[in-house]
Structure 1
Amino acid sequence: MTMAGRQVSGVVVSEAMQKSRVVELTRSVRHRRYQKVIRRTKRVHVHDPESASHVGDEVRIEECRPLSKTKRWRLIGVTRRTREIEKVTTE
């Protein structure tokens, strides 16, 4: 069904839309001149048809065909949930 594109991991930072999430991708790059390791972040819109992920969850996503004006990524699965961790610590 799917033609697999590149797969990356990220953290969900927004779930304000139906069937969509905003995921922040973080990568480390070395500065060309000063050789210092710099953190670069990018926010991408991800298609999540079952609304399976929530803010703070670590997710795995893959690149796909354009699904809308801004969505080019599809959710594969939730790697780590934060809601379960919060419930355990508050009780």
Structure 2
Amino acid sequence: MALGLNVDRPDATCDDDNCPFHGTLSVRGQTIEGTVASTDMDKTVIVEREYDVGVPKYDRLMKRRSRVPAHAPECLDLSEGATVTIAECRPLSKTKSHVVVDVAEASDEPGGAD
């Protein structure tokens, strides 16, 4: 266990200063579980999570989705469709304030579920 979270330290090592395992980046605050929607950017992934919101007028639930940019450390192997856990950290750029800390599984479904 590392970081004070229930995650294991990855086997691979890296030279990334913004790696919570091998660098100096500390994590604090919330942790979010979601699916990797995009890996197109350098050292950044987009994590998408879907949740339900109640609509009182119709007494039903409506699906919403949230997309959070997160830093991808070099020691973690990330691909689109993988289920990951991200943790809040200090702001790394204008939009990035989260870092990937755990990769749970990779989905066989290309493009994710629609």
TM exceeds 0.5?
A: yes
Deviations 1:27-79 (A, max 9, x none): 11211322211111011111012152110101111122110011111101111
What residue is the counterpart of 2:95 in the other structure?
70
Match status 1:29 vs 2:49: no
Equivalent residues, number: 84
Q: Determine what percentage of the aligned residue pairs are the same residue.
A: 36
TM-score under structure 1 length normalisation:
0.80
- Comparing 69-78 and 45-54, the one that deviates more: 45-54
Match status 1:53 vs 2:105: no
What residue is the counterpart of 2:37 in the other structure?
13
Deviations 1:2-49 (A, max 9, x none): 242111111111101121101112111211322211111011111012
Structure 1: gaps of 5 or more residues: 87-91
Cα distance in structure 2, aligned partners of 1:68 and 1:3: 15
TM-score under structure 2 length normalisation:
0.66
Q: Which amino acid aligns with 1:29?
A: V
Structure 2: gaps of 5 or more residues: 1-24, 110-114
Q: Which amino acid aligns with 2:38?
A: S
* Larger strand share, 1 or 2: 1
